[in-house]
Amino acid sequence: MQGIGEGFENRLSAALPAEVADKTKNLQPADRRNTVVAYSLLRCGLMDAGRYRGRMELAFSENGKPHIGGAEGFYFNVSHTAGAAACAVSGREVGVDVERHVELDGRLADWVCTAGERRILQASARRSRDFIRLWTLKESYIKYLGAPLSEELLGVEFSAVMHMDAFCHLGLVFKSAWMGEVCLSVCGHTGSFGIQAVSVEELERALAAQPA
């Protein structure tokens, strides 16, 4: 996450849920920073919804998906990749994934894509970007479910919709967008959600007057 200073990162870290703070202790600095920013975006979402009470406490569903304890009707999901973090909030279950553009790796494609999806990618002039979009769409859906990634990526088919920015599929609404070299996809129940890029400076301004 470019542009975040150590002092600001430390202030953000002080507001992390205890479970997240414990996990970040063993992360590499870049991964720790991205996690801190993702949960700081969650804090902004709680503030915007009037649900922030000075700290965030996590509770977990039966399948291990986290939610905010005591915030009934408030759902979230976070994701991060090299230099970018994302948080989706909603009144119903939601999933989000963000990935940075990389050149298409055949072994990774075999892990993510069905045979039909691979055929479409092979014919695409933008196969690497189309693959990243497909990957984020699938992961947003699996994170919506709270299911293990390794069990589900090949179990869902996106061949008919993988080039679309917004669509309904599997009874849910999907949206995706490229922001520079980063692709973000969201999966949920409503078509009213949007995708917005926020800089570190904007995040700092949004949190400046709020309790740590």
Claim to verify: residue 207 and residue 168 sit in the same structural domain:
no
Q: Average pLDDT of 169-188?
A: 95
Domain residue limits at 178: 95-192
The CA distance from 86 to 184, in Å, is 8
Count of all residues that appear for the chain in the document: 212
**176 by DSSP, 3-state: which?**
strand
Instruction: Tell me: pLDDT of 66 over 80.
Output: yes
> pLDDT-derived band of residue 203, with 50, 70 and 90 as boundaries?
confident
CATH number at residue 114: 3.90.470.20
Among 86-90, 115-119, 133-137, 146-150, the least confident range: 146-150
- Judge whether 111 lies within some domain: yes
Rounded to an integer, what distance in angstroms lies between the CA atom of residue 19 and that of residue 93? 21
- Tell me whether residue 90 is in a domain: no
Q: How many CB atoms are closer than 10 A to CB 82?
A: 14
Q: What is the mean pLDDT of residues 114-143?
A: 94
Nearest-angstrom CA–CA distance, 98 and 81: 6
The per-residue pLDDT for 97 is 96
Same domain, 186 and 113: yes
pLDDT band at 207 (very low <50, low <70, confident <90, very high): confident
Residues 99 and 180 in one domain: yes
* 138 domain-assigned: yes
Residues 187 and 155 in one domain: yes
The per-residue pLDDT for range 83-107, each reduced to its tens digit, is 899 999 999 999 999 999 998 888 8
Please indicate, yes or no, whether residues 120 and 33 belong to a single structural domain of this protein.
no
Q: Are 109 and 134 within one domain? A: yes
Q: In this model, does residue 157 exceed pLDDT 70? A: yes
- State the DSSP H helix or E strand holding residue 21, giving kind and residue range, or none if neither: helix 18-24
Q: Is residue 211 scored above 60 in pLDDT? A: no
Is 87 part of any domain? no
Check whether residue 56 and residue 127 sit in a common domain.
Answer: no
| Whether residue 144 is found in the same domain as residue 161 | yes
- Contact present, 67 and 60 (Cβ < 8 Å): yes
pLDDT exceeds cutoff 80 at 1: no
Average pLDDT over all residues of the chain: 88
pLDDT of residue 11: 84
Mean pLDDT, range 19-46, rounded to an integer? 91
Mean of the pLDDT values across residues 120-145? 94
Q: What's the domain count of the chain? A: 2
Closest to 183 (Cα-Cα) out of 76, 102, 90: 102
Co-location of 160 and 137 in the same domain? yes
Residue pair 199/3 in contact (Cβ under 8 Å)? The answer is yes
